[in-house]
């Protein structure tokens, strides 16, 4: 007899969930009259098939990891920071703004890049604080507030690209004028990735892990998230802690936006957040909010994203297929967890 | 319709909320269900009205066994329940409230509903306009609406859970008149209450519940003393009562007025001396909880003053109360006291002052082990609080309290605990008193109130009695006061 509360039992269910997600995606492909094996193979070779591909995966991994890191803190405080997309966008806008202001000055490029990062962090924090203020002092659920602010952020980007920051002549969906090479975060020779941004991403998740594991601050955040009323009675100022969670998550999101500008696109483009905020929500749910798993799972999701880029070219499939697989994974893992809980609960009874 | 409940059992975890309850009610009878909070009255009524299912036992209607799985099953069998908090939809019109829960095809016939509503109203002298919105009604009117709705849906058995809470005297009179009329028409009325005068004045017979069991049934003429004794049970012998030499006044409460949407307390006065224990007695919802939460700083009073050793605390935020040395231990341990998902050690860390940025886990575990030993908690430092039994959760809560404390506020400190744990917890509390902490506590257990308090305040419907000397008060006197008999303030 298998012990139903054992770790093995739990692991078995997770494997089952992954298999179910793969089957589900396969069925979707069969319905779309696409060859599933071919598609999975393409995703695989498209993500780890060459050094260039691997570097691209890492480029996608960094903002996703930063977003996930920030979200782990808001989730710890029991908050659904859907507004993270807007926070990434505002980070990118602030970075672009700082760079545009400073690019013609005599400041050293290193300093400008540094200021660009700080501006991005500030932008993300401001945007997150709006959601937080609405939630804590206005009684607006953070999901609604965040969602609304996402739309505002998108509109702001479009306005800037086609308005004040448009290219000479006429504005274009390809974004603002690219910055000078000197203002790019140094990249690895011949590849798109940068050791610097990789470092930022890894240090970021390490900090979040430390905060949640070993600090008073992290423990109190968890207390607020798990039972706000009791936390308040114990003496934790719950509003202040929720606000801090928003601030820090906003900082991480802004950092992700800054990285997108400084290390990837070198300009402001319309969908600069690339959906990494929403994807980060899925990663956080999939890893059950355990910081230890954020890096590997985010890497896997980034690989799926990059791997599926080839699908439209080779198989005439839309690249959103990776989204189907990612979504199915999260759904099935959550579902299987529910099934497992039911089974174990029955046994206890 | 005759209603019979046969050998009903219902447990929630380790709590046996209904232990082998059998009761039979004939058509046309107003049946009183009396008992203190947690006695199992509401559980039984929820079983009958389909909100929950019994673990075992049968429900017979006119001698036929029926299965009632949902409230809509219940109303199909003619059983309707009027909840303590009206289950209506305030932002909607009366007529729409009637239609909700009614099977009537895709397009509801509003006009017909209004007509039958008027006919029903005429019978009982109610006067509700079908076109008004529910949120403009008083609690009493919402009750009338709920009665009409259940009758219109075909209820032949009407269950009322604490219906006299929050309505005016004239509305109460009208309600009783209506209930008597309905009983004359052959309906079964089940009237659940903890108010002695209400059940005595209305019911044809009274069933008394205590700790999940049906203690007995009585018929008029009622003997109040007898009912009180049945409700609260026999005297249990406790350890020797120790009284402390009181010292200077610690907490001064003057003309305190508190208001929320359920209750109003006007001009309560009390001076608590240090080392003194004040018991707050009264049926749940009589205002004692609001009073205690105001002392804790969790509820802002609308008037009056709170002073701790001369320092004014009125209107200050909760953390100022905490800093002044006031601590509050809530009754709902898992909702307001402890944080599910966190371990015992983590709770101790949270309740301590922060030292540095990082937590010293090793030190925390050592302290945690010590306290687990001292407080005799059956658990490990890593045990999550939700895995502890109720008694151990209460011990953990007490172990989280800081030392020294000026004022300790407790809500039902021993509710749900066995006698041994209760005595142990009180020995800990008395030790605190020796260190000059004063204690104000709420309890539904009259023995506990009488035994451990130095003085007692009785709450009834928002009114506060003069402080009673616990040594000169008997269970019967207290029981009558709680039931509102001979209440003066």
pLDDT digits (tens, 9 = 90+) for B95-132: 888 777 776 667 777 888 888 888 888 888 888 888 88
Kindly state the helix (H) or strand (E) to which residue B360 belongs, with its residue range: none
Model pLDDT for residues B212-226, shown as the tens digit of each residue: 889 889 888 888 878
The closest CB to that of B350, out of A214, A219, A237, belongs to A219
Cis amide leading into B404 (omega within 30): yes
Among residues B153, B152, B166, B157, the alpha carbon closest in space to that of B86 is found at B166
Q: Which residue has the higher pLDDT, B84 or A88?
A: A88
Q: What is the CATH number of the domain that holds A141?
A: 1.10.3470
Kindly determine whether residue B338 and residue A229, on different chains, have CB atoms separated by under 8 Å.
no
Kindly determine whether residue A227 and residue B359, on different chains, have CB atoms separated by under 8 Å.
no
pLDDT score recorded for residue B133: 86
Kindly determine whether residue A226 and residue B338, on different chains, have CB atoms separated by under 8 Å.
no
Query: Does the residue A246 lie in any domain?
Result: yes
What is the C-alpha separation between B208 and B280, in angstroms, rounded? 23
- What is Dmax (Cα atoms) for chain A? 74
Q: How far is A225 from chain B (nearest CA, A)?
A: 9
**What mean pLDDT is reported for chain B?**
85
Residues 6+ apart with CB under 8 A from A340: A9, A10, A13
Q: How many domains does chain A have?
A: 2
pLDDT score recorded for residue B282: 86
Is residue A22 located within the same domain as residue A94? no
Model pLDDT for residues A63-77, shown as the tens digit of each residue: 999 999 999 999 999
**Is A240 in CB contact (< 8 Å) with chain B?**
no
pLDDT score recorded for residue B225: 79
The closest CB to that of B335, out of A219, A230, A235, belongs to A230
Chain A: residue whose CA lies nearest to B14: A349
The stretch A252-281 carries a mean pLDDT of 94
- In which band, very low, low, confident or very high, does the pLDDT at A349 lie, cut at 50, 70 and 90? very low
Question: Per-residue b/e over A240-250, b at no fewer than 16 CB within 10 Å?
Answer: ebbbbbbbbbb
Is residue A73 located within the same domain as residue A176? yes
What is the C-alpha separation between A286 and A325, in angstroms, rounded? 13
What is the C-alpha separation between A224 and A231, in angstroms, rounded? 5
Is residue A101 located within the same domain as residue A29? no
| Coil, strand or helix at B108 | coil
Is residue A114 located within the same domain as residue A252? yes
Is residue A222 located within the same domain as residue A345? no
Is residue A266 located within the same domain as residue A341? no
**Is A135 in CB contact (< 8 Å) with chain B?**
no
pLDDT score recorded for residue B79: 93
Interface test with A, best of B358, B393, B398, B402 (most A CBs within 10 A): B358
**Is A349 in CB contact (< 8 Å) with chain B?**
no
Kindly determine whether residue B342 and residue A216, on different chains, have CB atoms separated by under 8 Å.
no
The range of the structural domain enclosing residue A228 comes to 60-316
pLDDT score recorded for residue B404: 83
Q: Is the pLDDT of residue A348 over 70?
A: no
Query: Does the residue A50 lie in any domain?
Result: no
Joined together, the tokens standing for residue A127 give 């945007």
Kindly state the helix (H) or strand (E) to which residue A53 belongs, with its residue range: helix A51-76
Q: What are the Cα distances from residue B201, in Å, to B198, B313, B482?
A: 5, 44, 17
Is residue A349 located within the same domain as residue A254? no
- In which band, very low, low, confident or very high, does the pLDDT at B242 lie, cut at 50, 70 and 90? low
pTM confidence score: 0.75
Residues of A in contact with B410 (CB under 8 A): none
What is the C-alpha separation between B485 and B411, in angstroms, rounded? 24
Ramachandran category for residue B66: left, alpha or beta (phi over 0 → left; psi -120 to 50 → alpha):
beta
Beta carbons of A290 and A71 less than 8 angstroms apart: no
Is residue A222 located within the same domain as residue A284? yes
Joined together, the tokens standing for residue B443 give 């309890």
Is residue A238 located within the same domain as residue A321? no
Please state the φ and ψ torsions of residue B10, each to the nearest 5 degrees: -150, 125
What is the C-alpha separation between B91 and B461, in angstroms, rounded? 28
Among residues A328, A283, A265, A233, the alpha carbon closest in space to that of A92 is found at A265
What is the C-alpha separation between B414 and B423, in angstroms, rounded? 9
Query: Does the residue A129 lie in any domain?
Result: yes
pLDDT score recorded for residue B35: 82
Query: Does the residue A42 lie in any domain?
Result: no
The closest CB to that of B339, out of A215, A223, A235, belongs to A223
Query: Does the residue A1 lie in any domain?
Result: no
- Residue position matching structure tokens 């082998």: B20
Among residues B313, B337, B444, B315, the alpha carbon closest in space to that of B399 is found at B337
pLDDT score recorded for residue A6: 65
What is the C-alpha separation between B359 and B371, in angstroms, rounded? 18
- Residue position matching structure tokens 């609308």: B302
From the centroid of its chain, how far is CA B286? 9
The stretch A122-132 carries a mean pLDDT of 97
Rg (CA), chain A: 21
Q: Is the pLDDT of residue B458 over 60?
A: yes
Is residue A188 located within the same domain as residue A206? yes
**Is A214 in CB contact (< 8 Å) with chain B?**
yes
Domains of chain B: 3-232 (3.40.50.300), 236-325+404-489 (3.40.50.300), 340-401 (no CATH)
pLDDT score recorded for residue A108: 92
pLDDT score recorded for residue A247: 97
Residues of A in contact with B405 (CB under 8 A): none
What is the C-alpha separation between B138 and B168, in angstroms, rounded? 10
Kindly determine whether residue A233 and residue B328, on different chains, have CB atoms separated by under 8 Å.
yes
What is the C-alpha separation between B110 and B95, in angstroms, rounded? 7
Q: What are the Cα distances from residue B344, in Å, to A214, B353, B361, B385, B401?
A: 16, 16, 12, 6, 13
Interface test with A, best of B320, B331, B339 (most A CBs within 10 A): B339
Out of A147-156, A281-290, B256-265, which region has the weakest mean confidence (pLDDT)? B256-265
Model pLDDT for residues A219-237, shown as the tens digit of each residue: 999 999 999 999 999 999 9
User: What ipTM does this complex have?
Assistant: 0.84
Joined together, the tokens standing for residue B311 give 């320092």
The stretch B164-173 carries a mean pLDDT of 74
Is residue A246 located within the same domain as residue A330? no
Chain A: residue whose CA lies nearest to B397: A234
The closest CB to that of A230, out of B337, B346, B354, belongs to B337
Percent of chain B with pLDDT over 70: 93
Chain A: residue whose CA lies nearest to B361: A214
Q: How far is B342 from chain A (nearest CA, A)?
A: 8
The closest CB to that of A233, out of B336, B354, B358, belongs to B336
Q: Is the pLDDT of residue A96 over 80?
A: yes
Residues of A in contact with B360 (CB under 8 A): none
Q: How far is B299 from chain A (nearest CA, A)?
A: 12
Q: How far is B121 from chain A (nearest CA, A)?
A: 40
Residues of B in contact with A217 (CB under 8 A): 357
**What mean pLDDT is reported for chain A?**
90
Question: Rounded to 10 degrees, what is the CA torsion of B134, B140, B145, B148?
Answer: 180
pLDDT score recorded for residue B260: 82
Beta carbons of A73 and A245 less than 8 angstroms apart: yes
pLDDT score recorded for residue B238: 46
Rg (CA), chain B: 25
Kindly state the helix (H) or strand (E) to which residue A88 belongs, with its residue range: helix A84-102
Residues 6+ apart with CB under 8 A from B21: B5, B7, B8, B9, B40, B44, B57, B213, B214
Q: Which residue has the higher pLDDT, A161 or A14?
A: A161
Q: Is the pLDDT of residue B292 over 60?
A: yes
CB-CB neighbours of A226 under 10 Å: 17
The stretch B295-305 carries a mean pLDDT of 91
Beta bridge partners of B251: B272, B308
Query: Does the residue A193 lie in any domain?
Result: yes
What is the C-alpha separation between A289 and A299, in angstroms, rounded? 16
Beta bridge partners of B191: B32, B160
Q: Which residue has the higher pLDDT, A258 or B210?
A: A258
Query: Does the residue A47 lie in any domain?
Result: no
Kindly determine whether residue B351 and residue A229, on different chains, have CB atoms separated by under 8 Å.
no
Q: How far is B416 from chain A (nearest CA, A)?
A: 20
Is residue A188 located within the same domain as residue A136? yes
Q: How far is B447 from chain A (nearest CA, A)?
A: 28
Model pLDDT for residues B373-415, shown as the tens digit of each residue: 988 888 889 999 988 877 788 889 999 998 888 999 999 888 7
What is the C-alpha separation between A107 and A120, in angstroms, rounded? 18
pLDDT score recorded for residue A3: 53
- In which band, very low, low, confident or very high, does the pLDDT at A327 lie, cut at 50, 70 and 90? confident
Q: How far is A192 from chain B (nearest CA, A)?
A: 38
- At CB < 8 Å, which residues of chain B contact A? 298, 318-319, 322, 328, 330, 335-342, 346-347, 349-351, 354, 356-359, 361, 400
Kindly state the helix (H) or strand (E) to which residue B303 belongs, with its residue range: strand B303-308
Residues 6+ apart with CB under 8 A from B279: B441, B442, B443, B448, B449, B450, B452, B453, B455, B456, B457, B470
- In which band, very low, low, confident or very high, does the pLDDT at B259 lie, cut at 50, 70 and 90? confident
Joined together, the tokens standing for residue A344 give 């174990």
Among residues A48, A24, A46, A47, the alpha carbon closest in space to that of A36 is found at A24
- In which band, very low, low, confident or very high, does the pLDDT at B431 lie, cut at 50, 70 and 90? confident
- In which band, very low, low, confident or very high, does the pLDDT at B93 lie, cut at 50, 70 and 90? confident
Kindly determine whether residue A226 and residue B339, on different chains, have CB atoms separated by under 8 Å.
yes
What is the C-alpha separation between A148 and A152, in angstroms, rounded? 7
Q: How far is B140 from chain A (nearest CA, A)?
A: 31
Q: Which residue has the higher pLDDT, A182 or A256?
A: A256
What is the C-alpha separation between A294 and B285, in angstroms, rounded? 48
**Is A229 in CB contact (< 8 Å) with chain B?**
yes
Q: How far is A213 from chain B (nearest CA, A)?
A: 9
pLDDT score recorded for residue B152: 87
Kindly determine whether residue A226 and residue B357, on different chains, have CB atoms separated by under 8 Å.
no
Among residues B22, B13, B87, B123, the alpha carbon closest in space to that of B387 is found at B13
């Amino acid at each position: 007899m298998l012990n139903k509360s054992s770790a093995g039992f739990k692991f078995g269910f997770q494997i089952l969930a992954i298999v179910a997600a793969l089957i589900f995606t396969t069925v979707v492909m069969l319905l779309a009259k696409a060859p599933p094996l071919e598609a999975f193979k393409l995703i695989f070779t498209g993500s780890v098939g060459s050094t260039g591909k691997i570097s691209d995966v890492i480029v996608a991994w960094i903002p996703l990891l930063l977003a996930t890191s920030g979200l782990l803190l808001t989730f710890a405080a029991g908050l659904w920071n859907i507004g993270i997309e807007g926070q990434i966008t505002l980070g990118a806008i602030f970075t672009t703004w700082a760079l545009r202001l400073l690019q013609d000055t005599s400041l050293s490029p290193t300093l400008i890049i540094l200021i660009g990062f700080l501006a991005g962090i500030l932008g993300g924090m401001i945007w997150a604080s709006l959601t937080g203020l609405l939630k804590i002092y206005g009684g607006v659920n953070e999901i609604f507030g965040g969602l609304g602010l996402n739309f505002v952020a998108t509109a702001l980007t479009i306005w800037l690209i086609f308005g004040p920051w448009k290219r000479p002549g006429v504005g274009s969906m390809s974004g603002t004028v690219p910055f000078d090479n000197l203002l790019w975060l140094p990249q690895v020779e011949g590849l798109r990735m940068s050791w610097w941004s990789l470092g930022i991403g890894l240090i970021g998740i390490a900090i979040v892990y430390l905060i949640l594991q070993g600090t008073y601050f992290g423990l109190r955040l968890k207390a607020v998230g798990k039972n706000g009323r009791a936390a308040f009675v114990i003496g934790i100022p719950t509003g202040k802690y929720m606000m801090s969670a928003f601030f820090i998550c906003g900082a991480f999101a802004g950092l992700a936006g800054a990285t997108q500008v400084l290390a990837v696109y070198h300009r402001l483009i319309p969908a600069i957040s690339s959906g990494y905020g929403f994807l980060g929500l899925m990663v956080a749910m999939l890893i059950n909010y355990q910081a230890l798993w954020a890096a590997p799972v985010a890497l896997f999701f980034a690989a799926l994203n990059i791997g599926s880029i080839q699908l439209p070219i080779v198989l005439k499939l839309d690249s959103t297929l990776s989204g189907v697989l990612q979504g199915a994974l999260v759904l099935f893992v959550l579902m299987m967890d529910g099934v497992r809980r039911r089974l174990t609960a029955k046994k206890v009874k | 319709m005759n209603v019979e409940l046969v050998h009903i059992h219902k447990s929630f975890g380790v709590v046996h909320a209904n232990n082998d309850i059998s009761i039979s009610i004939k058509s046309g009878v107003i049946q009183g269900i009396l008992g203190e909070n947690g006695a199992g009255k509401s559980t039984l009524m929820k079983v009958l009205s389909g909100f929950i299912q019994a673990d075992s036992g049968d429900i017979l209607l006119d001698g036929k066994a029926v299965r009632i799985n949902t409230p809509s099953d219940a109303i199909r069998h003619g059983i309707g329940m009027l909840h303590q908090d009206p289950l209506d939809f305030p932002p909607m019109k009366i007529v729409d409230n009637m239609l909700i829960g009614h099977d009537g095809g895709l397009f509801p016939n509003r006009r017909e509903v209004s007509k039958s509503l008027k006919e029903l109203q005429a019978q009982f002298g109610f006067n509700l306009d079908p076109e008004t919105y529910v949120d403009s009604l008083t609690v009493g009117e919402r009750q009338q609406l709920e009665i009409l709705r259940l009758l219109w849906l075909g209820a032949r058995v009407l269950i009322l859970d604490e219906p006299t809470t929050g309505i005016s005297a004239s509305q109460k009179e009208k309600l009783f008149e209506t209930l008597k009329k309905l009983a004359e028409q052959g309906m079964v009325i089940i009237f659940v209450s903890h108010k002695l005068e209400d059940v005595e004045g209305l019911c044809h017979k009274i069933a008394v519940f205590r700790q999940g069991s049906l203690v007995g049934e009585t018929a008029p003429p009622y003997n109040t003393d007898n009912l009180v004794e049945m409700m609260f049970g026999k005297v249990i012998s406790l350890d020797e009562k120790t009284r402390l030499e009181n010292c200077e006044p610690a907490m001064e409460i003057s003309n305190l007025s508190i208001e929320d949407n359920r209750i109003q307390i006007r001009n309560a006065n009390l001076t608590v001396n240090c080392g003194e224990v004040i018991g707050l007695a009264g049926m749940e919802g009589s205002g004692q909880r609001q009073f205690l939460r105001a002392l804790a700083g969790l509820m802002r009073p609308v008037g009056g003053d709170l002073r701790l050793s001369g320092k004014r605390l009125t209107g200050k935020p909760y953390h100022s109360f905490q800093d002044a040395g006031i601590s509050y231990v809530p009754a709902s341990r898992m909702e307001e006291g402890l944080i599910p998902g966190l371990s015992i050690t983590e709770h101790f860390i949270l309740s301590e002052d922060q030292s540095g940025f990082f937590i010293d886990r090793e030190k925390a575990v050592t302290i945690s082990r010590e306290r687990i030993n001292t407080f005799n908690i059956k658990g490990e430092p890593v045990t999550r609080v939700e895995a502890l039994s109720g008694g151990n959760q209460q011990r953990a809560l007490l172990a989280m309290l800081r030392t020294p404390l000026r004022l300790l506020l407790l809500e039902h400190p021993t509710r749900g605990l066995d006698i041994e744990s209760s005595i142990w917890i009180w020995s800990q509390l008395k030790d605190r008193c020796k260190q000059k902490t004063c204690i104000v506590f709420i309890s539904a257990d009259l023995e506990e109130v009488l035994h451990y308090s130095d003085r007692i305040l009785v709450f009834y419907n928002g009114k506060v009695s003069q402080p009673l000397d616990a040594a000169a008060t008997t269970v019967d006197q207290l029981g009558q006061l709680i039931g509102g008999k001979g209440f003066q303030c």
